[in-house]
Amino acid sequence: MRENNTSIKGDQRAQSALTEGVRWASDLTRARQAGPSLSHKDWSQAGFSTAAVHAGTMDDEATGAVGTPIYQTSTFLLGDEQYRSVEEGYARDRFIYTRYGNPNQWALQTKLAALEGAESALVFSSGMAAITATVMALLDKGAHIVASNELYGGTYNLFNQEMPTMGISVSYVDPRDYEAIEAAIRPETQMMYFEALTNPLLKLVDVRRLADIAERKQVRLVIDGTFLPPVCCRMIEQGADIVIHSASKYLNGHSDLIAGAIMGSRKLVDMVWPRLLAFGGSLDPHACFMFERGLKTLAIRMAAHERSALSLASYLEKHPLVKRVYYPLLSTHPDHDLAQRVLRNGGGMIAFEISGGDTAALELLKHLKIPKQATSLGGVESLVSLPYNTSHAGYTSKQRLDMGINPGCVRLSVGIEDPEDLIADFDQALKAL
């Protein structure tokens, strides 16, 4: 029934559930396990940097080349074992076709799972591909979502414009009003969807508290952890069922590719995988290679982001033209106590409000020399944007005001530049106003 391992092109540990004499479901013996992966080393005791560099990365056996080779192929030679995997439903454990799985995707997924402390991961061609596949996998016809009322604009558009077409409804609730969140759950609610750190005002959500509500109400908790990668906080440890990332941001960290990722239990990630196949948001092997290279430096990048962000936030807080600064590690941040409890690293996102409204904010952007005026975040270079005409352009001005996004709000993704240089640049730009 089973072939020896040399014929297996994929995860050696993953085997057929069928053995001689199976007559009914109770005779089946296959249990879920972490992965799929080409390596099964336990990285749970390793530090973030060690896991980021080594977990999942494969040296080339044929040549001794260090690092994962690029398997730039769309398809794989098929044998009996792969045909069997399709027939019996374990095709995710074998190499068949790159949309199904590819060694570069697996290397990356193993690294992501190790960093998050999760059983399994999937990579996607964008963060929105990851969100769409996850949401559609975990919801049924007629389902209801309880979501944050401060969602990233792309997610809001998906929920607001696409979900109703599929008979799925959404209630939007203040992400820090836990009583309202619980009250919004209906009999048909299947999912709570929140962002760990909101965009742009950086409200820190208490994931443990959300997880407690989700468990009592028997619904799934999905957390978008894009602003807080695993080095900052492991969402699965906090109780999330699945954590989603736009990997175009901190995980890759170099503003040079578009990708998405999810991490969670093998059970739930296996549920999402068929939607990845159906919706087609697979990540190309070369993009996986770039993503893997970027991910290796996640821990040291996050340390640099935090150092520069905290210095700059502290400077801005004292500036007379700056009305308000949001950064979780500032003692003035409304969620500072929670941040102290749950964050290992405060990340690199800052929001601040400048006197003079959006006109003054636009003027400030023109005078800045280091931060580039661009949407996106999490790259090594500082990026600055105004929510009203970028990430939150899909909301009305009243909706933005209701969220607390006042005129003059600036979103700053602090890169890894030296804090002294960033402060000097903001100093000259503010003086020019």
Partner 1 sequence: MRNGISVTGLSEFVDEIKQNAEEGIAAYGVELNWQSGTRSKVKTLPMTIGTHRISRDFSWEIDEPRQLLGCNHAPNPQEYLLSGVGACIMVGFAVGASVMEIQLETLKVTVQGELNLAGFLNITPDVPVSFTELKYCIEVAGNGTPEQFEQLRQTALKQSPNAMTIMNQVSVVGDLIIK
Q: Minimum Å distance from CB 133 to partner 1? A: 18
Q: Cα separation of 363 and 272, whole Å?
A: 44
**Catalytic position from the list 99, 186, 208, 293:** 99
Pick from 87, 179, 418, 421: which binds partner 1 (CB under 8 A)?
87
Residue 140 binds partner 1 (CB under 8 A)? yes
Q: Where are the alpha helices (DSSP H) in 89-206?
A: 103-116, 127-138, 153-157, 178-183
Q: Are 108 and 43 in contact (CB under 8 A)?
A: no
Residue 219 CB, nearest approach to partner 1 (Å): 6
Pick one of 4, 45, 80, 187: the residue that binds partner 1 (CB under 8 A): 187
The answer to whether residue 293 forms part of the interface with partner 1 (CB under 8 A) is no
Buried b (16+ CB within 10 A) or exposed e, 264-278: bbbebbbbbbebbbe
Q: Which residues pair with 75 in a beta bridge?
A: 97
The distance of closest approach from Cβ of residue 80 to partner 1 in the complex, given in angstroms and rounded to an integer, is 14
| Shortest Å distance, C-beta 217 to partner 1 | 8
Residue 405: other Cβ atoms inside 10 A: 24
How far apart, in whole angstroms, are the C-alpha atoms of residue 368 and residue 300?
Answer: 26
| Catalytic annotation present for 249 | yes
Measure CA of the first residue to CA of the last residue in the chain; give whole Å: 76
Q: Distance (Å, rounded) from C-alpha 360 to C-alpha 433? A: 7
Strand order in the sheet with 409-413: 322-326, 349-354, 409-413, 383-385, 372-373
Alpha-carbon distance of 376 to 348, in angstroms, equals 12
- 111, 203, 220, 249: the catalytic one is 249
User: Which listed range, 104-112, 214-222, 284-292, 341-349, lies at the site for partner 1 (CB under 8 A)?
Assistant: 214-222
Closer residue to partner 1, CB minimum distance, 47 or 89: 89
**Residues, the chain, total?**
433
Instruction: Say how far apart CA 209 and CA 223 lie, in whole Å.
Output: 12
Examine residue 188 and tell whether it contacts partner 1 (CB under 8 A): yes
The CA-atom distances, in angstroms, between 90 and each of 35, 48, 53, 86, 191 are 12, 31, 29, 6, 27
**181 versus 316: smaller Cβ distance to partner 1:** 181
- Return left, alpha or beta for 62; rule: phi > 0 is left, psi -120 to 50 is alpha, else beta: alpha
- Is position 165 an interface residue for partner 1 (rule: CB under 8 A)? no
Q: Does 164 bind partner 1 (CB under 8 A)?
A: no
179 binds partner 1 (CB under 8 A): no
CB closer to partner 1, 32 vs 366: 32
182 binds partner 1 (CB under 8 A): no
As measured in angstroms, the least distance from the Cβ of 238 to partner 1 is: 18
Tokens read off for 3: 């072939």
Q: Does 17 bind partner 1 (CB under 8 A)?
A: yes
Active-site residue 90, yes or no? Answer: no
State in angstroms the smallest separation of the CB of 96 from partner 1: 13
| Residue among 190 and 198 whose Cβ is closer to partner 1 | 190
Nearer to partner 1, 176 or 266 (CB): 266
Q: Examine residue 59 and tell whether it contacts partner 1 (CB under 8 A).
A: no
CB 419, min distance to partner 1, A: 46
Options 9, 10, 16, 352; binder of partner 1; rule CB under 8 A: 16
Is 52 in contact with 115 (CB distance < 8 Å)? yes
Query: Rounded to an integer, what is the distance from CA 46 to the centroid of its chain?
Result: 21
Q: Is 75 in the site for partner 1 (CB under 8 A)?
A: no
Using alpha carbons, select from 96, 108, 105, 107 the residue that is nearest to residue 9.
Answer: 96
Stretch that binds partner 1, among 88-96, 225-233, 302-310, 325-333 (CB under 8 A): 88-96
296 is catalytic: no
What are 310's two structure tokens? 């905290």
> Among 44, 45, 165, 218, which residue sits at the site for partner 1 (rule: CB under 8 A)?
218
27 binds partner 1 (CB under 8 A): yes
Q: Provide, rounded to whole angstroms, the least separation between the CB of residue 186 and partner 1.
A: 9
For partner 1, the binding residue among 55, 128, 143, 258 (CB under 8 A) is 143
Q: Is 45 in the site for partner 1 (CB under 8 A)?
A: no
Contacts of residues 64-70 at CB distance under 8 Å and 24 or more positions apart, as own/partner, are: 68/103, 68/104, 68/107, 68/289, 68/292, 69/103, 70/104, 70/285, 70/286, 70/289
Report the b/e string of 417-429 with b at 16+ CB within 10 A: bebeebeebbeeb
Annotated catalytic residue within 224, 241, 284, 358: 224
Number of residues that bind partner 1 (CB under 8 A): 37
- Which residues are annotated as catalytic? 99, 152, 224, 249
Binding site for partner 1 (CB under 8 A): 16-18, 22-32, 86-90, 139-144, 167, 187-190, 215, 217-220, 267, 270
